[in-house]
Every structure is written in C-alpha cells, then in structure tokens.
Structure 1
C-alpha cells in the first residue's frame, strides 16, 4: 500500500485508518506471494514492520505472521505490551535501533555536551531526552556503558530474537557482540523501565519522533 498521507498520521499511535482498513487485503496478497517463495525454498518466516501498536495488534491477532519487526529500546517500549501474546503464539520480535539513533550511548547521554550542530539538539528529541532522564532514575548506576545496557535490555526478553543496529567500525561491532554475550537485566528491572516509560507517556501524551 502506497503512503498517501503524512508521516505523522501514518505513525500515529492510534494507527492510520487507511492502513488498518486495508490490512486483510494486503495480508492475503502478501501471503500468496510468500507461500510461493516458501515452496521454492527462498523464505521461511513472514514478519511485519507495523510501525504502530494498533497495526501490530492486527498482525498478532491474525495468526498469519511469525514475527514482528519494530523499534525497541529502553525509551521506545510500546511494542513490549504485545510480547506476552507473541510468546503464546511462538512469534519472535526483531528489535530495530536499540541505541535510538545513537542517543542511548555514553557519547550522547549528556545532551548539554553535544556539538551545536548535532541533530539530537533539535526540539523533536526533547521528549526522548526527558524519557532518558527517567530511565536513568530507574537503572542503578554502574560501570556498564549506556550502549551496552541498551543492547542487553533489548535481548533480556526472550521474545526478542535479534537486534538490528547501525555500526560504523570494527570496535563498535566488537562492543556490540560483547554486550550481546553476557548477563542481561533481570525481568524486574526491565518491567520497571517499561512502567516508567508508560507512565511518562500517559502523563504527557507523547509519542516518539519517528
């Protein structure tokens, strides 16, 4: 389905009515092609990148997909509300941008120290940094880096099968692999972060700057 409305509407937390209305038709057409490719041995699983929780719920409830792909990190936790149902159905989740455009790193954790021309100084990121401050209140201070914590946070829930991130050099790749292979935050801490973000969003009626 071609995008015929603005990005703000397509990514709105309630879901775009046009996309929601066309879900069944799009899915049936997609399944026809998918099944053909599956029989040819070219694909094995079907995943959806729904963008909003409203569309994601349709995907999960349809029972026709094996996975979801979407944003997930200590600040963007909206899709986590679907994890319990996904677990019951044996679905997996592909976590995209665990470092939230580099915001969840030690280099950019302190916004006041960012270069004047940094895109993260734009007002569209105000709420993200406010949420980051809330996360800092929940996560106990330790020697672990923020980028390491963000990666571990994503992988802590067994519903998350993998993460997708942009890495610029071998050192970053090594650091990411090291973070992925280690002790993850316990379920209680992950739940605290989820609750903190949900509470703040409800109070401020905010939504990520997609």
Structure 2
C-alpha cells in the first residue's frame, strides 16, 4: 500500500475507503457485513475513511466499526449536510439556502455523536458554489469548529463534474482539501484543478474512480437494479446503456497487458498522478476491498498508456442533470 502526506502533514493511504455504500444506495446488505468490510480494509492497510452526514446510516456504521478496530486510528473525513434537498447540488443556490447560520455547527455535532469521536480529521462542505466567495458565516463556523478542536482540517466536496468551480477557494489558503470526480471517463480535474491544488498544497481526494462501478465492466444489457439503487438512473438516464457498454468494451484492450482487470486499470489510472492524495472507492463489500487494494499494489501505469487513456477514452456525462432536473 502506497501512502501520501495529507495537506496537514499526516500520512494516509493513497487508496481510501468510501463509505457511501453503507447508505444502501448500491443495494442493501446486513450491517454486520458492512462493519466487517471496513475492518478488513483497515487490516489491509487502508487508513483513510470518507463518509457524510447525508449518507443515511453510514456515519453510525463507520462509528461501530471504529469501536471494534484495535489498530492505529485512521484518518476520518465526513461532510456537512446541506439543506434544501437535491436542488442545492444541481444549480447554484445562495449559501444561506444550503448552509443557513448554525447548520455547519449542528451538522458537525451530529457527526461527532454518530461517529463516536471527539474530533473529525477532515470536515468538508458537501457542496460549494463560487458565487459564495470564500468567506461568510459558513466559513466562520468551520473555523470556529477548528479552533475548538472538533475538526482538524477543512475541505470542499465539488458538486458533480464541474471541478474548476472551486479554484477561487483553493487559492484562498482557507481550505486543506478538495474532493472531486476523477476517472478514465472524466479526467478533466487532472488538467487544471489538481495541479493548482498541488501548487497551493491543497490535498486532492479523488472520488467516483470506478464511475459508480461502471468501469469494472459489470454492466450488461440485462443488468437490473433494485428499488432505491441510484445506479438505475445513473447508467440509463444520462446516455444510452449500450453506448456506455461500448466505451467500457474499448478499455479491454489494456487488460491484462497493463492491468489485471478493468477495475485495476481504473484505479491505477487515478493513482498515476502523485498530486492525487487519496482515491476513494466503495469497498462496503469485502470482496471489493480485497480486489481494490490488490489493484493499488500493482505496478503503476506507464506514461504512454496513461496518456492514451487520458486523451482518447473520455466519456463525460453529468448524472446530476437527470438526478436534479429529471428525464427529458
């Protein structure tokens, strides 16, 4: 397992545990299985956990797993819950609509209780719009929590695929990290946001590195999704399913010469750039954790293969257009 220094100087694993799967949005599973998956990942060297107040029971389940874990304390990241429903992610809203006064503090206090910890290593706003500027009551409340020792670092989670929107706050010196989408199909953050974060010593947390599982090759014409599984709209609401399958099929030419599997190819692509501090993947199923950790331990992609993937396999689609505004 490779490790990197977080912006604050703490060493963390370059592959991180994304706990959104504990919300049941990829299908329900027993709570015991979720706890076992996280403990397994920690045993295998994962030291970074990302969750959110908005992810259903995720924080509580993470807290239960941490109480069972007897090893070194992992780096724990979560997110302030924004108000206003899905609208606050789909299109710009005033800061007061997403984070009215005291919402940041109240959400943080709820997270501390659910997680069962006295301090959260990284607290992220779950949305941000550049129209807010870089100061306001929301930033003041984050700084107050930091001064009180309830959080150690402050970050921003970027809405959907518009990674460049956070550049003003990245350069402000007020935040320690940015979380954004990075994957083979949408590598655009690597072009502008990531190098600017590196120049300003802001950590980068890459998410959706497997494109919600699509880059593993699991999707077929016959794949069905259960009630409440958000992948149903993700894969069928943005582009024709067959178009997606065809794009994944084109990646198979790189397997096994450059990676042991499609999932490994996707993970190695994101980890190629040293400015990616950690890349989070949903490892709520133990088999996923084992496979993803093994992929991260493979030899890095060579420069030519990385560049080819970066430039000729893009397939950018914005799920939020469907999620927030509905099907045409």
Higher strand share: 2
| TM over 0.5, shorter chain | yes
Return 115-124 or 44-53, whichever deviates more: 115-124
Partner of 1:154 in structure 2? 270
Distance in 1, Cα, partners of 2:153 & 2:293? 25
Residue 196 of structure 2, aligned match among 80, 85, 103: 85
Partner of 2:145 in structure 1? 37
Distance in 2, Cα, partners of 1:191 & 1:64? 33
Partner of 1:73 in structure 2? 183
Partner of 1:181 in structure 2? 297
How far apart are 1:167 and its partner, in Å?
Answer: 2.5
TM-score by length of 1: 0.74
Q: Deviations over 1:77-120 (max 9, x none)?
A: 22222111111111111111211121111322xx34x3256836
Q: Relative to 1, partners in 2 of residues 1:135 and 1:208: Cα closer, same or farther, differing over 3 Å?
A: farther
3-state SS in 1 of match to 2:171: helix
Distance in 2, Cα, partners of 1:7 & 1:121? 22
Q: Relative to 1, partners in 2 of residues 1:165 and 1:121: Cα closer, same or farther, differing over 3 Å?
A: closer
Partner of 1:106 in structure 2? 217
Distance in 2, Cα, partners of 1:40 & 1:101? 36
**Are the equivalent residues in 2 in contact too, given 1:68–1:93 (CA < 8 A)?**
yes
Distance in 2, Cα, partners of 1:32 & 1:121? 39
3-state SS in 1 of match to 2:291: helix
Matched, 1:61 2:171: yes
Distance in 1, Cα, partners of 2:246 & 2:308? 13
3-state SS in 1 of match to 2:312: helix
3-state SS in 1 of match to 2:206: strand
Higher helix share: 1
How far apart are 1:28 and its partner, in Å?
Answer: 3.4
Alignment gaps of 5+ in structure 1: 11-15, 202-206
Distance in 2, Cα, partners of 1:7 & 1:39? 28
Two-structure CA RMSD over aligned residues (Å): 3.2
Alignment gaps of 5+ in structure 2: 1-81, 95-128, 227-231, 321-328
Matched, 1:164 2:280: yes
Matched, 1:23 2:139: no
Residue 126 of structure 1, aligned match among 240, 249, 256: 240
**Are the equivalent residues in 2 in contact too, given 1:154–1:163 (CA < 8 A)?**
yes
**Are the equivalent residues in 2 in contact too, given 1:125–1:209 (CA < 8 A)?**
no
Q: Relative to 1, partners in 2 of residues 1:164 and 1:117: Cα closer, same or farther, differing over 3 Å?
A: closer
Distance in 2, Cα, partners of 1:60 & 1:67? 8
TM-score by length of 2: 0.50
**Are the equivalent residues in 2 in contact too, given 1:74–1:135 (CA < 8 A)?**
no
Q: Relative to 1, partners in 2 of residues 1:62 and 1:167: Cα closer, same or farther, differing over 3 Å?
A: same
**Are the equivalent residues in 1 in contact too, given 2:272–2:301 (CA < 8 A)?**
yes
Q: Deviations over 1:120-139 (max 9, x none)?
A: 662524387178359628x6
Number of positions where the alignment pairs a residue of Structure 1 with one of Structure 2: 193
Distance in 1, Cα, partners of 2:187 & 2:293? 22
Residue 145 of structure 1, aligned match among 246, 258, 261: 261
